[in-house]
Chains A and B, each alone.
Chain A
């Protein structure tokens, strides 16, 4: 916990990991409930929730940097998959 008096300061120091354990599964369930199965693989909220859960459950795991880099690569893939055709079209390069 960070130094400093007051409840607000203490809360701010603790919220992320505690919140992750509560919020991430809720978001995950919400997305699984509302998004069709074939689209779940490219739902950033699902990816971020799983990532947040891993961070909260194993904050000192040695594989965490690799997992985080993989999550980033995956999200970048999702992003470029959808934006690339528009970007190419704007540059006059679409087939």
Chain B
């Protein structure tokens, strides 16, 4: 564990220094925007490293760690550490600084104590991470959920945070990377509309505690990263950064989630509206980064064309049974329903508790709702830059809502929009002391209400906290500990298969796709599988499972785990 931790520190330090060096060459000259660019380039570097490692089957702590160490030595020799971005905290003021420290410490506590638990994450995002870490590279096995072929850019960052330790205790740090990006990008947007440094810092902090965004980031879902990248794109466009740099954000965003792409028309409109403002000169170094960004974005779609003949697989592939269907293409009825739901019901956040999937709510929080809406009405009339941002963000919102079907969770695709309302709120708060106090109160409410998502009740958190960090796993909240090093997994979209790998990825998961009961029994015998996790996706699988369990005399040990007749 200690060598892994040292390699992790070295590789992270190397990526930070390299990002700082590149930002020095490519920066816009505006501190807040350059901080955003720095964080974006760091993400580009670590995602590229994992992608390259996955493709060449060198995805090991030693390969990445030693390469990182060598790069660190070279960067230190080249005195790159002198280019690290500097933040003058004196301008921020003590109360905000304390608030930032408290929010950061709380985030780290959530990273440490939370274990991956949410359905989508453990059913189709993270099983890939489990396979990659165990195999030391990309494999053809991705799990049983129909959505496993979706772009996996965020999973690259998650892999970075588990690879060195060979353990997932820090996996939520991947989300924290994007929380930091969202913080910087929102702060930069605030600076763009003319807000002072202190209030801009406040704006960044307000965005961090936006309930849906915050809880998505700590629940291993890719919606917060996609949102942070939309805000980043808007920031770069607003700063009139060179197009090659904007395309880096576009590449990363599209590679994380296609819904990011739906928001791009708003960024294009913003670029058009700002076309007469002075642009940052183009630096040819930027093109190298663009290539990396577009590779990271395009890789998953090209892979899907190669494997399935369809870049958006399984969307648009008729023969695939997909119980959790996703809309493909624009639909005006979706737009009408989604806007109606958002405006008349879900914006209030009155239909449920906060969580990463924002079931039946928007998850935009009290600052966006209570302060942001009136502040935007006022600000858009007074400030032409804020008005243009509002036009760009509104088009992005409209486009996303046009492309996603109306369901209880779809507003997690628009977590970027609260950033606009928050910038407006921070602007007004800076101008009027009473509004600052009200905003601070709303910030406090958001902070307290985002301690736990509704899907992790206090008793579950206590169960996780009582486990040692080495064994911390959400599987054992409802299932017994599986003593074997191999486990079978039968099911589909309901199978929470990532949990079966164990937090240290020590367990091999055999994904079962039986055609018959006999086939299932034979596979179980062939692989010596004594423990079976089963969440049947349909009646056929249920019948096969019941038959095989009877024949092999297995018994149900928890909710989904079957084991041998007697533990031996």
Contact = CB atoms under 8 A, between A and B. Distances in A.
B438 A92 contact: no
Given A69-B435, A87-B353, A90-B453, A79 B366 contact: yes
A48 interface: yes
Contact of A82 (B349, B391, B438, B451): B349
Given A76-B438, A80-B445, A86-B454, A16 B350 contact: no
A92 B458 contact: yes
B525 interface: no
B377 A55 contact: yes
Interface in A10-55: 12-13, 16-17, 20, 44-45, 48, 51-52, 55
Contacts of B391: 12
Given A16-B380, A69-B435, A90 B448 contact: no
Given A16-B380, A69-B438, A76 B371 contact: yes
Contact of B374 (A9, A51, A89, A92): A51
Contact of B349 (A48, A59, A83): A83
B432 A12 contact: no
A12 B273 contact: yes
B432 A79 contact: no
Given A12-B273, A68-B428, A55 B373 contact: no
A65 interface: yes
A90 B568 CA distance: 40
A74 to B, nearest CB: 8
A86 B363 CA distance: 12
B453 A82 contact: no
Nearest to B380: A16
Contacts of A68: 374-375, 378, 428, 432, 435
B366 A48 contact: no
A91 interface: yes
Given A12-B391, A82-B348, A72 B435 contact: yes
B451 A91 contact: yes
Interface in B102-122: none
Contact of A87 (B381, B448, B459): B448
Interface residues of B, number: 44
Interface string B332-372: 00000000000110011110111000000000001001110
B268 interface: no
Contacts of A72: 370-371, 374-375, 435, 438
B452 interface: yes
A95 interface: no
A13 to B, nearest CB: 6
A89 B353 contact: yes
A50 to B, nearest CB: 10
Nearest to B425: A72
Nearest to A66: B434
A34 to B, nearest CB: 9
Nearest to A2: B384
Contacts of B457: 90, 92
A58 interface: no
* Residue from A20, A52, A79, A80 with most neighbouring chain B CB atoms (10 Å): A79
A73 interface: yes
Given A75-B369, A92-B458, A55 B353 contact: no
Given A12-B387, A90-B457, 8 more contacts: A4-B276, A44-B373, A48-B377, A52-B377, A55-B377, A78-B370, A79-B348, A90-B354
5 contacts: A13-B384, A68-B374, A80-B445, A82-B348, A86-B349
Interface of B: 273, 276, 343-344, 347-350, 352-354, 366, 369-371, 373-375, 377-378, 380-381, 384, 387-388, 391, 428, 431-432, 434-435, 438, 441-442, 445, 448-449, 451-454, 457-459
Interface of A: 2, 4, 8-9, 12-13, 16-17, 20, 44-45, 48, 51-52, 55, 59, 65-66, 68-69, 71-73, 75-76, 78-80, 82-83, 86-87, 89-92
